Amino acid sequence: MALASFGNDKFLSSARRICHYDKVAKSIEIQAGYFNFENYNKKTFNENFTNTFGFPDVVDLKPEKLWNSNLCNVILSFQRAIEECVLELLDSILQKNEFINENIQIACGGGVFHNSVLVGKLIKKYGVDIFVPPCPGDLGSSIGAVNFGLLSQGKEPLFEMSPFLGPVADDLGS
C-alpha cells in the first residue's frame, strides 16, 4: 500500500475488471485467471497478468525510481479497485440490514483495513465511528472483537458472521 503513493491509476479500468463488486451476487469477485492462487511455489501472478500490466519495472525500491513506475501504477490501481469493492460491499450490507439511517459503528478487520486511505473514505462517507483494531489481521479475530465489543455493551453477539467471503467449497478433499 505504501508503494501506491508513488503511482497513478492508469490501470484502474483493468484492475476493476479483475477485482470488482458483483451487485447481483453481492460479493467481491476476483478473476482468478490472472493469479497463481493454487500453486504457492510460483509467482503470485501469471502470464495473463503480465500481458495486461507488464512486468514490474522496479526492483530497487528507492523513491526516485518509484515515481510513476509500472509497479506503483499497478499497485495504486488495485488499491483503488479494492477500496471501491469494500465501499460497495458495505453499502450493500448496511442497506440490506436497514442500518443506513441509524447511528451505527463499524468494526473493520482483515489486512485490507491496514489501508488508512480506505478507512478515511469510510469515515468520510458514513460519518460514523470506525473501529480498526491495532492489528486487524486476516484470521477472523475481527469477528471475535466485534462480538466482544457487543457483549461489553450488554448487547447480543452476532451469530451469522463468517470470516470467509469467498465461494463455498463443496468438497475440501478430506
Report pLDDT for 174.
Answer: 47
Backbone angles phi, psi at 35, to 5 degrees: -130, 160
pLDDT tens profile 97-147: 665 556 677 877 777 877 888 888 988 888 877 887 766 565 556 667 777
**Model pTM score:** 0.71
- Does an H or E element contain 118, and which? helix 116-126
Burial classification of residue 132, based on how many CB atoms lie within 10 Å of its CB (0-12 exposed, 13-18 middle, 19 or more buried) = buried
Report pLDDT for 161.
Answer: 58
**Cα–Cα distance measured from residue 15 to residue 10, given in angstroms and rounded to the nearest whole number:** 10
